[in-house]
Amino acid sequence: MSSVHEFNAAIAAREARERGDGERIAELMNLHPLEMWFGLPPSELQLVLESGSAALAESSPVGHAVLQLLSADRLGLTGAAEVTEDDRISPFVDALKKRLSGDAVAALALFETAELVTAPVPHVFDATRGLRAFSVAQTGLTAMLAGQLGDALAYFEKALACPVPRALTFLHRESHLRVALIHALYGGQDTALVHLAAAARVERSDSWAELGLDAETVLVEALLAPAVEAEESLERVEALPIAAELWPFHMLATHKLSVIAGHPARARDRAAHFERAGVVGPAATGVVGSALPWIRFYDAIATGDLSRAATELDHADRDLWQTAHFQAILEVSRGRPAVAVRILYDYAPHTSALPKAEAQRLTVLAVARHAESDAPAAEDVLVAVAPHLTAYSGRLMEFLSPDLAARAAEHVDRWPVVTEVPGSDARVGSFDFEPLRDREMDVLRAMATQQSRGEIAESLFLSVNTVKTHQRSLYRKLRVNSHAQALDVARRRGLI
């Protein structure tokens, strides 16, 4: 809590509003913009600034820009005067506009041009009174939303090195929590725990932002809880209000916990409820535009609807490694494990520094090698991933190939046994299919055109008996007993 002897810009602003002192409000916005922004709830800050709007327009470009942002003028809803070029806030207004519209990738490019972000961190004293820490932390958040997790971690570490006044200590707590969130989802468990503990040690400020950080703390704690508590952790996360701009990571946390708990449909249902609210615009990029398609993809895979799964991936950002990860899963399920292996190796540099993400990649790689009938290669991957296997990756393995998961538990040292979840709604074994050979695929495509067996033989320059042999092999690999069933399964798997 702040000392009674420390100047409090929020209290001074309230007093100035009561006196009708617009010049004092403009002065406070020039000297203490962040203490004003975070010391007063947004609705109250807007009232304070409106009471001094004439003075702001004349002598406080910072205050004028903030008032425009609060009233949505800068978001294009009404005509607004341009902010002066020397305004410290103006470089971020356009970036925030882009980010709030969902275009995190374009917003990140704008943030990264700002001098406050690119300049070295000052030692001991920072004349910007926290503006540098705020700017760098905002860039870190934008990098998260754009899907550039390595860059985000670097920006948050830089924000932690920036001095802040006591009224803005929450900026350091926020940075610790967001590093912890990235690691809880994709990185190292121990690193996440270290930053969660560090966040708890930061002196609590009087800012309204602290309540949002309390919710982020619950989210991180739920992700870091033992797997046996997944059901309880999922309920805790479901009870939280969905975080404002961090909603994609809130949704991804819900998905991860629901998979561990054996109820992936709960993440699908919550995502659908959120999507109906119309928060996500069609121009969203990065994780903002991809989180919901990823969750819908998983649901489509779980229900065996591979055509829908492929459609969902078309809506995700193809530049993100997570999309490539799901594409690899899709290729394995289509019976093209060699394609999946190439994809998995191509995006390896993006997960090498994120242990949980790397465990997910290796899990799918093992399934792909297994689907190729390359037992030695599959076993090598299993041995490599065993010490790092997480509960989520274990469930992923069990879901993709229960046969391979059982073999791993029996034959691979240090392989954790994933216990069955009572009442699980997950469909397992979706990818325990043998891959189809090229000629079998040719016959399958011909079958889909309703050609007779003789016509297929003629078009493919095969004998009728050879076509019969390929059809029997198709039925066995697709686990069906008839022509119609074969086509139905093939369509659901996206093979035709």
**Do residues 69 and 96 lie in contact, with contact meaning Cβ atoms separated by under 8 Å?**
yes
The predicted pLDDT at position 90 comes to 61
257/251 Cα distance (integer angstroms):
10
The predicted pLDDT at position 91 comes to 66
Banded pLDDT at 420 (limits 50, 70, 90): low
Provide the angle, in degrees to the nearest 10, between the axes of the packed helices 355-371 and 321-333.
20
Q: Choose the weakest-confidence range: 147-161, 358-372, 456-470.
A: 456-470
**Res. 431: pLDDT tops 70:** no
Architecture of 276-411 per CATH? Alpha Horseshoe (1.25)
**Res. 73: pLDDT tops 80:** no
Banded pLDDT at 88 (limits 50, 70, 90): low
Banded pLDDT at 199 (limits 50, 70, 90): very high
381/378 Cα distance (integer angstroms):
5
The predicted pLDDT at position 95 comes to 87
Tens digits of residue pLDDT in 380-409: 999 999 888 888 998 888 888 888 888 888
The predicted pLDDT at position 242 comes to 82
Ranges of CATH 1.10.10.10 domains, the chain: 438-492
Alpha-helix runs per DSSP H in 162-305: 170-185, 189-201, 209-224, 230-239, 247-261, 264-276, 286-302
Residues 339-358, mean pLDDT to the nearest whole number? 96
155/143 Cα distance (integer angstroms):
8
Q: Choose the weakest-confidence range: 76-80, 150-154, 245-249, 288-292.
A: 76-80
The string of DSSP codes covering 274-320 is: HHHTT-S-TT--HHHHHHHHHHHHHHHHHTT-HHHHHHHHHTS-TTS
The predicted pLDDT at position 425 comes to 52
**Do residues 320 and 287 lie in contact, with contact meaning Cβ atoms separated by under 8 Å?**
yes
Residues 320-345, mean pLDDT to the nearest whole number? 94
pLDDT, greater one: 136 or 489: 136
Tens digits of residue pLDDT in 203-260: 999 899 999 999 999 999 999 999 889 999 999 999 998 878 899 999 999 999 999 9
Using CB atoms within 10 A of its CB, is residue 412 exposed (0-12), middle (13-18) or buried (19+)? middle
When the pLDDT of each residue in the chain is averaged and rounded to a whole number, the result is 86
The predicted pLDDT at position 197 comes to 97
Ranges of CATH 1.25.40.10 domains, the chain: 276-411
pLDDT, greater one: 166 or 426: 166
The predicted pLDDT at position 217 comes to 97
The predicted pLDDT at position 78 comes to 39
Banded pLDDT at 493 (limits 50, 70, 90): low
Banded pLDDT at 75 (limits 50, 70, 90): very low
Task: For the chain, give the percent of residues with pLDDT over 90.
Answer: 45
Query: What is this structure's pTM?
Result: 0.82
Tokens representing residue 36 in the block: 């004003």
The predicted pLDDT at position 442 comes to 87
**Res. 68: pLDDT tops 80:** no
The predicted pLDDT at position 433 comes to 59
Tens digits of residue pLDDT in 144-177: 999 999 999 999 999 999 999 888 999 999 999 9
Banded pLDDT at 3 (limits 50, 70, 90): very low
The predicted pLDDT at position 244 comes to 82
In the chain, what is the straight-line distance between the N-terminal and C-terminal CA atoms, in Å?
64
Banded pLDDT at 412 (limits 50, 70, 90): confident
Q: Choose the weakest-confidence range: 64-73, 181-190, 193-202, 441-450.
A: 64-73
Provide the angle, in degrees to the nearest 10, between the axes of the packed helices 90-100 and 131-146.
30
438-492 under CATH 3.30.9.90, yes or no: no
**Res. 135: pLDDT tops 60:** yes
Output the CA torsion 129→132→135→139 (10° steps).
-150
Alpha-helix runs per DSSP H in 52-169: 53-59, 61-70, 90-100, 104-111, 115-118, 131-146, 149-161
Q: Name the 3-class secondary structure at 203.
A: coil
